Each structure stands twice: as C-alpha cells, then as structure tokens.
C-alpha cells in the first residue's frame, strides 16, 4: 500500500466519524418550548373550552404551565416533536428549590418541571380565588 492510499483511507475514516458524531449530537438535542404563546396555543388546541389567560415556560424550555380565564390549569411538556397538554388540579402545582413541579398523575407525561420559575410567577397567573 502506498502512503497516498493509507492517507485517503484515514481521511475517509475521519470524515465518517465526524459525520456520525454530528448525527448523534443532533438526535440528542432537546427541543424546547420556546415561548409562553407556544404553550398557550397547544393548551387551547388540545383542551376543550380552555381560553388561556396566561402561560409561563421554564428556563430550560422543557415544561410550561397555562392558566385559563376560568381558573383551570394545564401542564405542557414536549414529547418528541409535539407538545403534550394535560389539565391538572392546582393542588398538584408546588414550588421546589429548582422551580415549579407539577405532578400530572399521567404515566406518559410524568412530572413537569418549570425550571427557575418561582411561586410569584405562578401567583401572577392564578385567578384571584385560587390559593397558590
């Protein structure tokens, strides 16, 4: 084997490894919930009669909370390419050190964490008659 052939094989292997690592990184990238409006639109589309008064998204974009005009609340979480929305009780919304945690009780959705969102953010969204 000549040095040119060996160099060509090595270059081809390096290119293939680079392409493979790029594909792996792309597949592992977390798709975020970008804006409160995105979470609000998903809640209104998936829950009958849910007119959103306000929404908040966690700092990492993995979870969101939408509140309706009538006081109902919905947890929003991205599952794959779509947003999953579940109506939850206010009792399932609680503050933790990391942010707001919503225990949905749904096996597919699981818990929804709103990173770096505090109780004051949620109180601004909650209707007057609801104690948060």
Percent of the chain surpassing pLDDT 70? 84
Q: Is the pLDDT of residue 11 over 80?
A: no
Closest by CA position to 86, among listed 108, 55, 101: 108
* Calpha distance 76→35 (Å, rounded): 12
Give me the pLDDT at residue 87, please: 96
| Strand, helix or coil for residue 90 | helix
What average pLDDT does range 54-83 have in this prediction?
Answer: 93
Q: Are 94 and 111 in contact (CB under 8 A)?
A: no
What does DSSP assign to residue 13?
H
Give me the pLDDT at residue 77, please: 96
More confident residue, 7 or 60: 60
* pTM: predicted TM-score of the whole model, two decimal places: 0.73
Q: Is the pLDDT of residue 130 over 90?
A: no
Q: Is the pLDDT of residue 74 over 70?
A: yes
Give me the pLDDT at residue 73, please: 95
Q: Is the pLDDT of residue 60 over 60?
A: yes
More confident residue, 124 or 39: 39
Closest by CA position to 116, among listed 57, 39, 67, 65: 57
Tokens representing residue 69 in the block: 């005009």
* Calpha distance 3→21 (Å, rounded): 27
């Amino acid at each position: 084997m000549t040095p040119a052939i060996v160099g060509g094989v090595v270059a081809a292997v390096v290119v293939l490894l680079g392409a493979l690592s790029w594909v792996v990184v792309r597949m592992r990238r977390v798709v975020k919930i970008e804006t409160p409006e995105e979470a609000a639109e998903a809640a209104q589309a998936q829950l009958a009669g849910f007119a959103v008064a306000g929404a908040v998204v966690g700092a990492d974009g993995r979870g969101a909370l939408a509140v309706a005009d009538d006081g109902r609340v919905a947890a929003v979480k991205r599952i794959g390419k779509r947003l999953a929305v579940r109506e939850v009780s206010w009792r399932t919304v609680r503050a933790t050190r990391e942010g707001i945690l919503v225990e949905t009780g749904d096996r597919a959705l699981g818990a929804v964490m709103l990173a770096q969102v505090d109780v004051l953010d949620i109180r601004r969204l909650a209707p007057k008659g609801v104690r948060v």
